[in-house]
Amino acid sequence: MAQLFSPSFGFALRLAVIATVLVLVGSILLWRALIAYPPAIGAPVRQPVPFSHKHHVGDDGIDCRYCHSAVETSAFAGLPPLATCMTCHSQLFTDQSVLAPLVRAFASGVPLHWRRIDKLPDFVYFNHSIHIAKGVGCVTCHGVLERMPLTWRVAPLTMRWCLDCHRNPAPALRPPEEIYNATWQPRAAAAVAARLMLAYRIDTRRLTDCSTCHR
């Protein structure tokens, strides 16, 4: 029987299969890396709806906890359900084109896919509630959100950056009533910081233990 394919065809076919698998795996890894990599510091992040903290917080005075309702009780601050947004936007600006994705998502029951701005690796444990309970304000990690027409990243959130704060948390502390006030400044910073360290019972000796952030 005549041979349909030359001996080199099988070798070429195997190379083609291997190359296809490598390209596929490489594409998946690249895609995951791009998704996981945080945005650049200071660069506004495009979202499905151009949400403005400046308008909602700065102009309208909406408290952070109205949308991020779990920030005081959970490791995650939480994103508001679309029903929270539609509390206002079922009446206000509902027919505006920029809000069309929000209105469609609410009507269909399909959630919007917001882009993460601050993202930590999976092997890092971070708890919002304990930072709030110990007097660390939102501005420390997220910046003055009430001045951001679009939200961007302000802190690197690297291990060194976090350790610097854990070694000396006093400058980041504020009274409980000022946790959500991004523009609060103490009149006597050093004295206030020392008093807050005592009030919150913060002991820095354990804050740099590996198990604090890696569990």
Mean pLDDT by 10 residues, the chain (215 residues): 60 80 78 63 92 95 94 92 92 89 93 89 93 96 95 94 96 95 87 94 93 91
**pLDDT at residue 135, rounded to an integer:** 96
Q: Is 21 among the domain residues? A: no
pTM as predicted: 0.78
> For residue 139, what is the enclosing H or E element?
helix 138-142
Query: What are the phi and psi torsion angles at 22 (to 5°)?
Result: -65, -40
Contacts of 193 (CB under 8 A, 6+ apart): 170, 171, 173, 186
Joined together, the tokens standing for residue 98 give 């920029």
Q: Is residue 141 part of a domain?
A: yes
CA distance 69 to 85: 13
Residue 154 is assigned to a structural domain of this protein: yes
Residue 130 maps to a domain: yes
Whether residue 183 lies inside any domain: the answer is yes
Parent domain of 160: 67-79+118-213
Q: 59: which 2 tokens?
A: 């102009």
- Is the separation of the CB atoms in 90 and 20 below 8 Å? no
Task: Say what the pLDDT of residue 13 is.
Answer: 74
Q: How high is the pLDDT of residue 122?
A: 87
Q: Return the pLDDT at 14.
A: 78
pLDDT of residue 187: 82
DSSP codes of every residue in 67-91: HSTTTTTSSS-----HHHHHHHHTT
Our count of domains for the chain comes to 1
Q: Does some domain include residue 151?
A: yes
Position 4 scores a pLDDT of 58
Q: Is residue 10 part of a domain?
A: no
